[in-house]
Amino acid sequence: MGCWSGTPRSSGPTRSTATRSSTPWPRIWGGGLGTEPAEALVAYGFEALGLTEVHATVDARNEASPWLLGRLGFAHVRDVEEDDGGLTRVLTCRNPARGAARGRQ
């Protein structure tokens, strides 16, 4: 269907993960196949790994994924123009349980 990955990265006193979601089949975008893996990946990052943020990248032509990610707490951060001229949207979700602790550091 597509590809999901998580890569823990250390960034000073906080830890975050970069995720990538892509599929070569635009006809399945918006078909409801991303909800369960997205929820599981975010929960794993926050609960099991204790991450402060989870990042996602989405092909700009895929209008369903940013909507889904928004429901999970992601916010649009920026757009990246790819070498082939395509546009990738970058979204970030901050761990609400770790936000207060991060603010005190």
pLDDT digits over 3-48, tens only?
A: 555 555 555 555 555 555 555 555 555 556 678 888 888 898 888 8
Is residue 62 domain-resident?
A: yes
Let me know if residue 61 belongs to a domain.
yes
In a domain, 93, yes or no: yes
Give the helix/strand (H/E) hosting 77.
Answer: strand 75-81
User: CB within 8 A of 54, min separation 6: which ones?
Assistant: 6, 16, 17, 19, 41, 42, 45, 46, 74, 92, 93, 95
Is pLDDT of 96 > 60? yes
Residue 85: domain span: 52-105
Could you tell me if residue 82 is inside a domain?
A: yes
Count of domains forming the chain: 1
**Average pLDDT of span 74-78:** 94
Q: Which helix (H) or strand (E) holds 101?
A: helix 96-103
User: What is the C-alpha separation between 67 and 64, in angstroms, rounded?
Assistant: 5
Is there a domain that residue 6 lies in? no
